[in-house]
Structure formats: C-alpha cells, structure tokens
Amino acid sequence: MINVLIIEDEAKSARELANMIGHIDRDIQILATLDSIEQALNWFAENEQPDLIFSDIQLADGLCFDIYNQIDIKSPVIFCTAFDEYLINAFDTNAVSYLLKPITRNQVERALDKFYSLKSAFETLQERQKLTGLLQQIKHQYKTALLVYQKEKIIPVQVKDIAFFYLDKTIVNITTLNGQRYYLSGKLEELNKVLDPTVFFRANRQFLINRAAVANAERFFARKLVIKLTVKTPEDIVVSKAKAAEFLHWLERA
C-alpha cells in the first residue's frame, strides 16, 4: 500500500486528482487532502511522512515551498501547477515530476511510473548497502593481526602476511610470505574460526594456508591434491579427495 498526501487548495482539482489516482492504482491510499501551508505544517507535525506527495505550488496562504523550507521532507513530490515558472525551485526539493494543469490521467500515470521506478531502484540500492554493511561487519570480526612472543618481546604479525600455519604436535608454527618464522600456542581449530575463510583454507590437520601463498596444485594418488606454496613447507601439503573440490572452488574465487 502506497500512502499519498495531496496538497491542493482547489477542492474540485483535489477531488479530481484523488479520483484519478484511485482509478490508476487501487493500492494507493489517500491519507489526507490539505489546502494551505498552515494546514500542511500542522499535519506533518502530527503524522509520519507519506510515501508520496502530490502538491500544488500556489496555495491560498503562499507557495508550497514554504512547507519544505520549514520541514525536512523526505517524501518524493509530484508537483501539480498551472505555472511553469517554478520548475527550477521544484527540483531543488524531492521532485519526481512536474505536471502542468489541466492534469490528465496520462500525465499522472507517467509520473507514478517514474515514482515506482525510482522507488524500486532506491530500495534495491538500500538492500545492497545493507548487505554490504552486514558483510563488512562480519568481515571485521576476523583477526587482522596475531600477537606472537619472542623471549620478552610481543610482536604483532599481520594476518595478511602469513603464508601458512603448521601444527607441530601442540605448537603452531607461523611462516610469513617473506620466510619469517614464529611460534604460537593454541589450536588450528581456534585459528580457523577467527581467520577470514576467503583468505585462509584448512588444507588438512596440519596446515592452514593463505591463498596469496599458493603457487599451484598437483593431482596426486587417489584423486588427492598436493599444494605447492611460494615458501618452503616442513612437509607436503596434501588435500584429501573429500576436500579437493572444496579447495579448487576456494582457489578460483581469488
């Protein structure tokens, strides 16, 4: 349901416009018909803004722009007037269309079509922005740095610079893209939860690897894969048959 407000000081014109709108789209509800700036200001003070406004420009107590100068109107506006001299002023507001009287059904239909097109495009943009924002929030939950210890020093290592994590019994070895090595106490399972899965892949029980470090992958016995990195690894990185397809899918998303 689209809620529409009509601002028009000529009662006959207001009735004709309301009837025309109703015949064009039965999903439109006319909330009110207002005939002055004062009445409009009072109405906006007590009601939520409508989805769309049809507004005459010259009202009994002044120009409708006085309304928009006093209230932050977010609603799109279709202006209906007998004068073309206010065109520039109209599009300084949220104007969707500018209709010259006498208004025809065809004019109103085109104006509503434009409104619906803009509304659809805007809602799609909003949904994309919401999704992008949500993805960014999720992404920001992943670690961007890890703290490693060397004697008395605490060193922050940027996650993006880590080529792979290697589990050696209970110690996690970290090797960076430029060959530096560090040690970290903990489990690969825990690291896997806090690292971005689009960047790091759990190849097997011993290895968690960075996409940026992958040089290539080779077919191996029984449909397994052997992954070659750009840095030396303590042993071959073998991906099982069950995880091979998952790895290749992850790799091609680079």
pLDDT tens, the chain, 254 aa long: 899 999 999 999 999 999 999 999 988 999 999 999 999 999 999 999 999 999 999 998 999 989 988 988 889 999 998 887 766 666 667 888 898 899 999 999 999 999 988 887 766 655 666 655 555 655 557 889 999 988 888 899 999 999 999 999 888 999 999 999 999 877 889 899 889 999 999 999 999 999 999 999 999 887 899 999 999 999 999 999 989 999 999 998 76
pLDDT confidence of residue 90: 62
Q: pTM score, two decimals?
A: 0.49
Q: Which of 112, 138, 164 is the last residue of a domain?
A: 138
Q: How many domains does the chain have?
A: 2
Which residues does residue 100 pair with via DSSP β-bridges, in sequence order? Answer: 81
pLDDT digits (tens, 9 = 90+) for 217-229: 999 887 899 999 9
**Are residues 115 and 179 both part of a single domain?**
no
Q: What is the domain range of residue 171?
A: 145-252
| Distance separating the N- and C-terminal Cα atoms of the chain | 44
CB neighbour class for 231 (10 Å; exposed up to 12, middle 13-18, buried from 19): middle
Last residue of a domain, one of 93, 114, 138: 138
Q: Are residues 40 and 55 in the same domain?
A: yes
Identify whether residues 127 and 7 lie together within a single domain. yes
Question: How many other C-beta atoms are found inside a 10 Å radius of the C-beta of residue 124?
Answer: 10
Quick one: 123 and 191 in the same domain? no
Q: Are residues 130 and 9 in the same domain?
A: yes
Q: Give the separation between CA 103 and CA 17, rounded to whole angstroms.
A: 8
Task: Convert the pLDDT of each residue in 127-181 to its tens digit.
Answer: 666 655 555 655 557 889 999 988 888 899 999 999 999 999 888 999 999 999 9
- CB neighbour class for 53 (10 Å; exposed up to 12, middle 13-18, buried from 19): buried
Task: Please check whether residues 107 and 175 belong to one and the same domain.
Answer: no
Looking at residue 254, what is its pLDDT?
Answer: 60
